[in-house]
């Protein structure tokens, strides 16, 4: 039996254990005068039986599945006759794939030496054995665990506590998975970044004003010496993000004010979901909207005004990105404005302030930290956005302050560096990791600031 | 008589219409023949020198009537207390006086409400001006999350009452003095108002309300969130303020109504049952419901 078949089987066994324990707990309770005389409700005894059945079996299954391949491989390789024993790592993996292909019947046995076909037979046999043992062991453990818990259904045993404890651990494991993944990502980026800084000095990377990551493939090539200065990329990112925020903050904020303070309930019920739908549009769709509609329009407009403009511009990307992040600002601001206690509103209105005076003088200052949080969230979103920029702002790493020029951003460069066939030890490829690291640091800082601000806001009233 | 009341026929609410009380709890004693006649108020609801003239006022939340045909005068510079069991409409009625019910979409108001002979609910009426003349103090102290100074200066600033910083300083000082908070607050005018004690916050809210020189101050259970000492302080303050302002106070404490008010109005299920001099209400109430309430038999 394969691991994939065992998994549902274990779950079925757990369900059976649940049912049996449930019935037994009721049976135990009946002569005592009902389930109130048990230490815990029948569902807890049943859940404990299911957990006892499933968890040890799943742990065994997981461990076995994790090590089975490696152990079998080692045994098979060790069984090879001395003349076939691999000399190098490359040779070993070649031999191994020969063996497994032969075992799978993809290779003609006549084409390989006898030793190899012997090993293939051994591999086949070991696999079958392992699979048999695994299935047997897992089922045995599951049944034993369930049976043990079944015998422990007794009025004086409190199943509630152990179920609670187990669930608590389960939640901890789930939280740990998320955290460990984050740590794993960070470390994989850090290692590659360190390798990159071994090839390109950090000062050149941080303060260089030219970005052209094409490195020479052959020593005699000319004109393709790589330049790894991130300043053009960061100015491009900053310019596009700034344009986006310039659009999103006023529009988002004022629409939040309108929605929370002025809109009647039916209007709000329609407008708010519509506005939030903007966040649901895939960024690719925004991207071609920017590239096909907005960018040519801006170019034509600029040409009409006698300005020089490229057909891909920071302005186009920024504008569309601004529209994209409006819901981040408006939705969060709306929530924060609504969270300002009604008493403050009433207090201001009762003093004869108009609605807009109340908004400006009382609600806005009280909600400001929360609004800032929303804006910073929108900003990290803008900095991390890729698709729109790829399509609408271009790939040219220009160091410019003209929003009608085409620029590029950190994320876009990461995409171009890592798409296609890559050798993972050239400075060009490793640069992507260094860029990712920089981006990570910047957005992390923004998030930390946002969190701090939000926390401060919580202390504001009440 | 409105169409609603004629179809539902609640012109008389009889004891027998009320849901039966749980026999285990203390029985709600009420004379079986007690009848509230809609629009009829015993005692002295009218005045020779009215600040507010309120005639046939009805308030609905959606289709539910909250105030049923109430007529009442509030005299110039009197302190009038609204008492009655929870849900009897006294706060709703109070909030009609400076149109604080406007922000509730489902709320409809009928009848004539006049302040100094001018209709409060006239469509041409400037709500801002009305609220500047009729200030309000709420049940829970609600200082703005600003400094003490800015809280008091808030109203004068939006109404442009001070031309210079020194004028504003004077208004703030005077208001805080009148609210009996100056000595406690003068050294920390820049401190956050939300850091003060509940009683101080409520006095700050009173100072904030009187900083715009209103003619009337509405108080909606101003002491219900305060301890007895802070309550006594506020009651003293009400007595002092009554010299220059008309005060309408909603309260659940009958002792408080007896201590601070000239007249007392008893509300019951949206009806105004009785209005009389406070001493009379608490010594020899004319209506049986009033008597039951003040003697603590229900409510």
What ranges in A294-341 are assigned the alpha helix state H? Answer: 295-304, 314-339
Residue A348 lies in a domain: yes
A265 touches B: beta carbon within 8 Å: yes
Chain-chain contact of B138 with A460 (C-beta, under 8 angstroms): no
pLDDT, one tens digit per residue, over B110-160 is 999 999 999 999 888 889 999 999 999 999 999 998 899 999 999 999 999
CB-nearest to B158 from A341, A345, A357 is A357
- Residue from B100, B142, B211 whose CB has the most chain A CBs within 10 Å, to mutate: B142
List of chain B residues whose C-beta atoms are within 8 Å of the C-beta of residue A350? 98, 100, 131, 135-136, 138, 209
Share above pLDDT 70 across residues of chain A, in percent, rounded to a whole number: 96
Radius of gyration of chain A from Cα atoms? 32
Report the C-alpha gap between A417 and A230 in whole angstroms.
Answer: 14
User: Domains in chain B, please, with CATH?
Assistant: 3-18+36-294 (3.40.50.300)
- Nearest CB among B142, B146, B208 relative to A346 is that of B142
Contact B142 A344 (CB under 8 A): yes
How does residue B96 score in pLDDT terms, banded at 50, 70 and 90?
A: very high
Q: Degrees (nearest 5) of the Cα angle B105, B109, B115?
A: 120
CA A372 to chain B, closest CA, distance in angstroms equals 17
Residues of B in contact with A351 (CB under 8 A): 131-132, 135, 154-155, 158, 208-209, 212
Query: How far is A263 from A266, CA to CA, in rounded Å?
Result: 8
Which candidate, B108, B79, B83, places its Cα nearest to that of B96?
A: B108
In a domain? residue A216? no
Residue A238 CA to residue B138 CA, distance in Å, equals 48
Q: Are residues A31 and A149 in the same domain?
A: yes
Q: How do residues A211-256 score in pLDDT, each as one tens digit?
A: 887 765 555 655 556 788 888 888 889 899 999 999 999 999 999 9
Say how far apart CA B280 and CA B81 lie, in whole Å. Answer: 13
| Same domain assignment for residues A124 and A237 | no
- A264, A346, A460 member nearest B138 (Cβ): A346
Distance CA A11, CA A13 (A): 5
- Number of structural domains, chain A? 2
pLDDT(A461) > 60: no
CA distance A397 to A394: 9
Question: Cα separation of B7 and A460, whole Å?
Answer: 50
Q: How far apart are CA B203 and CA B225, in angstroms?
A: 12
- Tell me which residue of A213, A244, A209, A229 sits closest to A399, measured CA to CA: A209
Closest-CA distance, A449 to chain B, in angstroms, reads 22
Same domain (yes/no): A58, A140: yes
Contact A343 B138 (CB under 8 A): yes
Residue of A nearest to B131 (CA): A352
Query: How many other CB atoms are found less than 10 A from the CB of residue B171?
Result: 21
Q: Are residues A118 and A246 in the same domain?
A: no
B137 burial type by CB count under 10 A (0-12 exposed, 13-18 middle, 19+ buried)? buried
Which residue of chain A is at minimal alpha-carbon distance from B208?
A: A351
Residues B28, B16: Cα–Cα separation, whole Å: 12
How far, in Å, CA of A5 to CA of A15, rounded? 16
- Nearest CB neighbour to B138, from listed A347, A365, A461: A347
Are A261 and A347 within one domain? yes
Check which CATH number belongs to the domain holding A318 and give it: 1.10.3720.10
Does the beta-carbon distance from A348 to B205 stay under 8 Å? no
Residue written as token pair 């006086």? B97
Is A278 in contact with A327 (CB distance < 8 Å)? yes
Kindly state the percentage of chain B with pLDDT values over 90: 53
Q: Which of A157, A172, A202 is the last residue of a domain?
A: A157
pLDDT at residue A106, as a whole number: 79
Segment B51-55 shows an average pLDDT of 93
Kindly report the three-state secondary structure assignment for every residue of A396-408.
CCCCCCCCCCCCC
| Of residues B250 and A220, more confidently modeled | B250
Are both A139 and A245 inside the same structural domain? no
For residue A206, count CB atoms less than 10 angstroms from its CB and return exposed for 0-12, middle for 13-18, buried for 19 or more: middle
Closest residue, chain A, to B193 (C-alpha): A461
pTM: 0.70
Q: A279 and A370: one domain?
A: yes
Domain span holding position A106: 3-157
Is residue B269's pLDDT more than 70?
yes
How far apart (Å, rounded) are the C-alpha atoms in residues B171 and B214? 13
Assess whether pLDDT exceeds 60 at residue B3: no
For tokens 């008493």, what's the residue? A343
Contact yes or no for A352 and B205 at CB 8 A: no
The reported pLDDT for the residue numbered B180 is: 86
Domain boundary among A157, A175, A194: A157
Is A416 exposed, middle or buried (CB count within 10 Å of its CB: 0-12, 13-18, 19+)? middle
Q: What letter does residue B267 receive in the DSSP assignment?
A: E
Which residues is A413 bridged to in the sheet? none
A261-288 residue pLDDT tens: 888 888 988 988 888 888 888 989 998 8
- Number of alpha helices (DSSP H) and beta strands (DSSP E) in chain A: 17, 2
Calculate how close chain A gets to B147, using CA atoms only, in Å: 12
| Residue A263 near chain B (CB below 8 Å) | no
Ramachandran angles phi, psi of B192, nearest 5°: -65, 135
Whether A196 maps to a domain, the answer reads: no
Apex CA A238: angle with CA A235 and CA A241, to 5°?
A: 150
Query: Given B142, B144, B155, which is nearest A352 (Cβ)?
Result: B155
- Tell me phi and psi for residue B216, to 5 degrees: -125, 140
Asked if A213 contacts A205 with a C-beta cutoff of 8 angstroms, the reply is: no
- Nearest chain A Cα to B144, which residue? A344
């Amino acid at each position: 039996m394969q691991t994939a078949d065992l998994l549902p089987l274990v779950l079925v066994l757990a369900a059976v254990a649940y049912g049996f324990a449930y019935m037994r707990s009721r049976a135990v309770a009946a002569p005592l005068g009902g389930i109130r005389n048990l230490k815990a409700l029948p569902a807890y005894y049943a859940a404990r039986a299911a957990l006892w059945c499933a968890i040890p079996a799943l742990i065994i299954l997981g461990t076995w599945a994790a090590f089975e391949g490696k152990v079998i491989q080692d045994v098979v390789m060790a069984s090879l006759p001395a003349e076939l024993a691999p000399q190098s790592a490359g040779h070993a993996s070649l031999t191994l794939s020969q063996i497994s292909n032969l075992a799978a019947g993809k290779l003609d046995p006549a084409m390989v030496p006898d030793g190899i076909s012997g090993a293939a037979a051994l591999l086949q046999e070991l696999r079958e054995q392992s699979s048999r043992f695994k299935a047997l062991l897992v089922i045995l453990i599951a049944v034993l665990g369930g049976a043990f818990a079944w015998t422990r259904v007794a009025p004086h045993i409190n199943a509630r506590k152990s179920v609670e404890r187990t669930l608590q651990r389960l939640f901890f494991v789930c939280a740990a998975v998320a955290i460990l993944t984050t740590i794993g990502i960070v470390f994989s980026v850090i290692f590659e970044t360190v390798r990159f800084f071994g090839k390109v000095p950090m000062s050149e990377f941080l303060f260089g004003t030219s970005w052209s990551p094409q490195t020479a493939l052959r020593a005699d090539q000319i004109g393709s010496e790589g330049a790894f200065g991130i300043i053009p990329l960061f100015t491009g990112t900053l310019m596009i993000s700034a344009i986006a925020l310039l659009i999103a903050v006023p529009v988002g904020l004022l629409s939040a004010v309108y929605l929370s303070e002025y809109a009647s309930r039916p209007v709000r019920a329609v407008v708010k979901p519509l506005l939030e739908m903007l966040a649901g549009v895939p960024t690719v769709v925004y991207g071609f909207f920017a590239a096909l509609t907005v960018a040519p329009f801006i170019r034509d407009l600029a040409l009409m005004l006698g300005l020089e403009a490229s057909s891909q511009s920071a302005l186009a990307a920024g504008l569309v990105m601004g529209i994209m992040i409006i819901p981040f600002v408006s939705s969060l601001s709306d929530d924060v404005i609504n969270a300002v206690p009604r008493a403050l509103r009433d207090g201001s209105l009762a003093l004869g302030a108009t609605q807009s005076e109340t908004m400006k003088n009382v609600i806005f200052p009280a909600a400001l930290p929360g609004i800032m949080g929303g804006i910073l969230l929108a900003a990290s979103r803008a900095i991390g956005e890729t698709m729109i920029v790829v399509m609408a702002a271009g790939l040219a790493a220009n160091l410019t302050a003209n929003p009608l020029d085409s620029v590029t951003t950190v994320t876009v460069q990461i995409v171009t560096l890592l798409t296609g066939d890559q050798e993972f030890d050239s400075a060009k490829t490793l640069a992507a990791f260094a860029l990712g690291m920089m981006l990570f640091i910047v957005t992390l800082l923004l998030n930390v600031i946002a969190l701090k601000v939000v926390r401060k806001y919580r202390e504001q009233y009440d | 008589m409105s169409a609603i009341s004629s179809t539902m026929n609640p012109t008389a609410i009889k004891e027998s219409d009320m849901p039966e009380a749980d026999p285990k709890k203390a029985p709600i004693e009420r004379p079986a023949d007690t009848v509230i006649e809609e629009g009829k108020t015993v005692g002295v609801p009218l005045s020779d020198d009215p600040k507010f003239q309120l005639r046939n006022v009805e308030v609905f939340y959606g289709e539910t009537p909250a105030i049923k045909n109430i007529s009442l005068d509030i005299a110039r510079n009197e302190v009038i207390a609204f008492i009655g069991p929870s849900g009897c409409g006294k706060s709703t009625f109070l909030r009609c006086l400076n149109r604080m019910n406007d922000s509730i979409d489902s709320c409809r108001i009928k009848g004539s409400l006049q302040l100094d002979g001018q209709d409060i609910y006239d469509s041409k009426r400037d709500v801002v001006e009305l609220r500047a003349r009729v200030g309000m103090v709420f049940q829970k102290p609600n200082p703005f999350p600003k400094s003490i100074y800015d809280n008091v200066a808030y109203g004068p600033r939006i109404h442009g009452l001070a031309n210079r910083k020194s004028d504003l300083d004077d208004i703030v000082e005077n208001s805080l003095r009148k609210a009996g908070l100056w000595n406690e607050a003068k050294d920390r005018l820049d401190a956050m108002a939300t850091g003060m004690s509940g009683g101080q916050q409520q006095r700050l809210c009173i100072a904030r309300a009187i900083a715009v020189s209103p003619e009337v101050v509405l108080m909606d259970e101003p002491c219900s969130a305060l301890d007895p000492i802070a309550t006594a302080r506020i009651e003293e303050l009400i007595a002092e303020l009554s010299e220059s302002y008309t005060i309408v106070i909603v309260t659940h404490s009958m002792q408080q109504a007896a201590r601070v008010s000239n007249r007392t109005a008893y509300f019951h299920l949206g009806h105004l049952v009785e209005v009389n001099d406070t001493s009379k209400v608490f010594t020899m109430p004319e209506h049986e419901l009033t008597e039951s309430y003040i003697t603590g038999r229900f409510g």
